[in-house]
């Protein structure tokens, strides 16, 4: 069995993910990875004050994970405002799947992604 190393930070605001999350007012970010299907995804819940988060999924070949993180944070925040201004009792959420939509789409990948989404209830 391999050993797990946990890195701690004295100040969580030094963490770029926590810092971005705090700056934009997000409630939750879920990082999803499944080697068997090739899935790498990020699910972002911005605000559920008005109700459960509503939003879609974008599959894009980001240059790196930080680019994907910035996109999903921006998109989920936009969904909060879009749902609110539309008079919906729904919050804002969004997901990105990191990968080439022309070559990486598979039933296994989307089923595994669906399991991650379902885990949010």
CATH number of the domain residue 31 falls in: 3.40.50.10860
Decide if 103 is inside a domain.
Answer: yes
**Alpha-carbon gap, residue 59 to 68, rounded angstroms:** 10
Mean pLDDT by 10 residues, the chain (121 residues): 51 73 90 96 96 97 94 97 97 97 96 94 81
Task: Judge whether 14 lies within some domain.
Answer: no
Residue 120 domain-assigned?
no
Q: Residue 120's Cα: distance from chain center in Å? A: 11
Whether the Cβ atoms of residue 78 and residue 28 lie closer than 8 Å to each other: no
- For the chain, what percentages of helix, strand and coil (3-state, to nearest 5) are there? 35, 25, 40
Inside any domain, residue 4: no
Single pTM value for the model:
0.85
Active site residue ranges: 94
Its domain, for residue 53, covers 25-115
- Per-residue pLDDT tens digits for 1-33: 456 554 455 555 577 888 888 888 999 999 999
Evaluate whether residue 11 is within a structural domain: no
Residue 66 included in any domain: yes
């Amino acid at each position: 069995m391999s050993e797990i190393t946990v890195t701690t930070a004295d100040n969580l605001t030094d963490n770029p993910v926590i810092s971005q999350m705090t700056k934009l007012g997000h409630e939750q970010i879920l990082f999803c990875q499944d080697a068997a299907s090739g899935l790498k995804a990020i699910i972002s819940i911005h605000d559920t004050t008005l109700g459960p988060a509503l939003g879609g999924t974008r599959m894009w070949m980001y240059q790196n994970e930080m680019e994907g993180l910035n996109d999903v944070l921006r998109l989920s925040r936009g969904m909060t405002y879009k749902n609110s201004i539309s008079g919906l009792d729904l919050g804002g959420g969004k997901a990105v799947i990191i990968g080439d939509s022309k070559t990486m789409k598979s039933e296994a990948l989307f089923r595994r992604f669906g399991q991650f989404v379902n885990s949010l209830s």
